[in-house]
Amino acid sequence: MRKSVFVFRVRYAETDQMGIAHHGNYLTWFEMGRSTLCREWGKPYASWEDEGVFLPVVEASCRYKSPARYDEELSLHTSVEQVKPHSVTFKYRLYRGDKLLAEGKTRHAFATPDGKLIRGGHPLIRWLEERSTERP
């Protein structure tokens, strides 16, 4: 499965007094990973919205294994785990070097601008299916 790797540093504002990244930042980092993946695949998320497809989050999870700390360089590996006619699930693995710090998933519905569910058949959904199953 094709993946994207986004490299960044933990910012001071993302940490507590002990220099450990707050757990809520991981979902923000996951969003950065999704955006990077779409951009690298040739279709930034803004163009999805221009074509009438929105991706509201309907489920999110994160398993924390080891803390991320201020100014550490991290790499977030993002891939598409599953595409269904009405949703897509992204998978995330966050590393410091070779050490896995956290892993998570988000599931997103395919929706119209007014919030109605799109149930398959949309060209963007087919495009996502094709990209997520290609081999590098």
> Is 16 noted as a catalytic residue in this protein?
yes
Q: Is 50 exposed, middle or buried (0-12, 13-18, 19+ CB in 10 A)?
A: exposed
In what helix (H) or strand (E) does residue 124 lie, and over which residues does it extend?
helix 123-133
From 16, 71, 98, 114, active-site residue: 16
Comparing C-alpha atoms, which of 53, 73, 37 is closest to residue 122? Answer: 53
Active-site residue set = 16
